[in-house]
Amino acid sequence: MRASLKRNADPDQPSQARPARNATTIERADPQNDDSAFRILNRAKAFTAQIKAKEAELDFKVRQGEVLAAEEVEATWARVGTRVKDEVTALPTRVVNRLPDEWRREVFTILSEETRRALKSIHHEFCPPDRAAA
């Protein structure tokens, strides 16, 4: 006679079925135990949902123009800094051209030195040597 599965098996009788080979089984641990696999899985799912919500919020703010990408800000400030430097370094020449000839050489030298000193000071304020190497 062939062995067959009973449809109305006795619930008090232990099952004779074997788990499949290489099957990973997770047994429910004590519900009060924080180390249970189910609690860890639920925490991981909640954490993933929080991250996705924050990413969606950030994406929305970027599209609304409330948040800018760091690369965009850095590129803009690099252009602004270059423009400021160019305008400031042009000042001694523009000022000297308004002066009488006998003062031009001396005033140009003084203004050029002071302009370079001011720009160097500003540069060190925004780009200190310890940060420039990083």
Alpha carbons 110 and 108: distance in angstroms, whole number: 6
Chain-centre distance for alpha carbon 69: 9
Non-local CB neighbours of 26 within 8 Å, separated by 6+ positions: 37, 38
Q: Do residue 35 and residue 81 come from a single domain?
A: no
Contact indicator for 119, 88 with CB cutoff of 8 Å = yes
Give the domain range for residue 50.
26-67
Q: Is the pTM of this model over 0.85?
A: no
Q: Is residue 21 part of a domain?
A: no
Alpha carbons 74 and 82: distance in angstroms, whole number: 12
Write the pLDDT tens digit of every residue in 60-118.
998 898 888 889 889 999 999 899 999 999 999 999 999 999 999 999 999 999 999 99
Q: Is residue 12 part of a domain?
A: no
To the nearest 10°, the Cα dihedral for 96, 98, 99, 101? Answer: 80
Q: Is residue 7 part of a domain?
A: no
Number of domains the chain contains: 2
